Amino acid sequence: MNRYPRNLSGHGPNPPDAAWPGGAKLAISLVLNHEEGGENCILHGDAASEAFLSDIAGATMWPGERHWNMESIYDYGARAGFWRLHDIFTARGLPVTIFGVATALARSPEQMAAMTAAGWEIASHGLKWVEHRGMEEAEERRQIAEAIRLHTEVVGAPPRGWYTGRCSANTVRLVAETGAFDWISDTYDDDLPHWLEVGARDQLVLPYTLEANDMRFATAPGYITGEQFFQYLKDAFDTLWDEGDRGRPKMMSIGLHSRLIGRPGKAAGLIRFLDYALQTGGAWFATRGEIAAHWAAHHPHVRRERPSQMDRETFVGRFGGIFEHSPWIADRAFDLELGPAHDSAVGLHNALCRIFRSAGDAERLGVLNAHPDLAGKLAAARRLTADSTAEQASAGLDALTDAERAEFQRLNADYVARHGFPFIIAVRDNTKAQILEAFRARVAQDRDTEFATACRQVERIALLRLKALL
């Protein structure tokens, strides 16, 4: 099976109403990453020093050596930046989710005690703040298990949320397979939570952010001043607030690091944004655990049969009649690169239409000729497919007057004699009068034009049938 695993459709054009508490126009998740003491360092048994997310421009890893400047920048986050941010958040009574590296939490008992006293949610940020890229699956699974164990030992309770950050292609699956987490945040793919099916596990995903994130102070292009950070957060807030005001509330994540935003000049931008958001109102500040609990209660996952996951026999059996009496279209479509994007009516319609459009004129003519005449002999003899019967009945073609029936029969005969295939129209889109009007007009068209028109109508009928089915 040629299957594409990435989901490029998501919630689609009509996302669910988040229905945030109190009618909030957006939910805001403040995330403070606690990584200091868990980064690459030969003191931690690593092969080299850290080089990621610091104020050292162009930093590189130092194999086998301690990088004193890098260590001291990370130390600043734990020693000074954390406490500045703690004061900022507690003074405003704002909930915070900690992404806590287990080994960093173990080396920061006072900070962890302050997090707990403030009622902050402490989620797992992995065992160490290191790259998981290229990590053997067995080793990554071991580190996930050890992160849970150490986190539980240090914090006093197991983590209910997870974010690795420097993850591998296996991370989300491996974390979900533990069955231990209410939510996982190792994606950046949406403005709303969504569900991921991992085997028998229905895993809730709360997407995170790398742009409404102070890490941009340490990357290029990025923020230079606290004012730039404030302006970006304000613009994101205003856009999401407006969408929520128009009935489509979303979620806004804000990623923070004590060694970055904890610096005075950068913190000023965060303070300005928090005060702006609080003054404007309409936002629900919540931990990620609270957001996850709300979403699970209001939008529980419902499993359904997905076309991209069917075997060939099931796929053709289910969709072989979408194009009238032409199961070969579904059979060939099964061999396309199907994926989650094709599990909707619109997505599957596109796949089936690709086969129909790429077929030769003779095969497409066969599809046209497989369609019955409107109000013709097959209808009178009750020999239409169930779909065709329902479609013709929807426009009242099963209850014609004698005069109407006679006109349909005359038009059918004239049309087939002129074009070589029956008149086809998506009857669910039209009234009986509109169908007759189109019939009278199209019977006189040249064959090439009418062939193209009939093919478009066949595709339209297929879409309507898929929407009714899916």
**Range of lowest pLDDT (34-38, 193-197, 232-236):** 34-38
pLDDT top residue among 215 and 397: 215
Query: What pLDDT is attached to residue 380?
Result: 47
Cβ within 8 Å of residue 416, ≥6 positions away: 373, 422, 423
Confidence of residue 74 (pLDDT cuts 50, 70, 90): confident
Portion of the chain with pLDDT greater than 70, in percent: 95
Instruction: Note the pLDDT tens digit of each residue in 33-55.
Output: 999 988 878 888 887 887 677 77
pTM of the model: 0.89
Instruction: Note the pLDDT tens digit of each residue in 261-300.
Output: 999 999 999 999 999 999 999 999 999 999 999 999 999 9
* Whether pLDDT at 182 is above 80: yes
Cβ within 8 Å of residue 137, ≥6 positions away: 170, 174
Confidence of residue 388 (pLDDT cuts 50, 70, 90): low
Residue 318 to residue 470: CA distance in whole angstroms:
11
Instruction: Note the pLDDT tens digit of each residue in 320-361.
Output: 999 999 999 999 999 999 999 999 999 999 999 999 999 999
What value does the mean pLDDT of the chain take? 92
Query: What pLDDT is attached to residue 384?
Result: 56
Query: What pLDDT is attached to residue 378?
Result: 47
SS3 per-residue string spanning 17-66: CCCCHHHCCEEEEEEEEECCCCECCHHHCCCECCCCCCCCCCCCCCECCC
* Whether pLDDT at 157 is above 50: yes
For residue 346 the two structure tokens come to 């619109």
Instruction: Note the pLDDT tens digit of each residue in 79-102.
Output: 999 999 999 999 999 999 999 999
Query: What pLDDT is attached to residue 398?
Result: 66
For residue 432 the two structure tokens come to 């009986």
Return the ∠ at Cα 50 (arms to 230 and 217), rounded to 5°: 15
Query: What pLDDT is attached to residue 30?
Result: 98
The closest alpha carbon to 162, from 212, 126, 110, belongs to 126
Other beta carbons within 10 angstroms of residue 38's beta carbon come to: 25
pLDDT top residue among 187 and 219: 187
CA distances to 4, 59, 349, 400, 452 from 427, rounded to whole Å, are 35, 66, 18, 15, 17
Residue 99 to residue 102: CA distance in whole angstroms:
9
Other beta carbons within 10 angstroms of residue 176's beta carbon come to: 22
As a dihedral over the C-alpha atoms of residue 459, residue 460, residue 465, residue 469, rounded to 10 degrees, the angle is 90
Instruction: Note the pLDDT tens digit of each residue in 211-222.
Output: 999 989 888 778
Average pLDDT of the residues in 21-40: 94
Average pLDDT of the residues in 299-318: 96
- Residues annotated as part of the active site: 371
Average pLDDT of the residues in 177-192: 97
CA distances to 42, 50, 391, 414, 455 from 440, rounded to whole Å, are 84, 76, 20, 10, 18
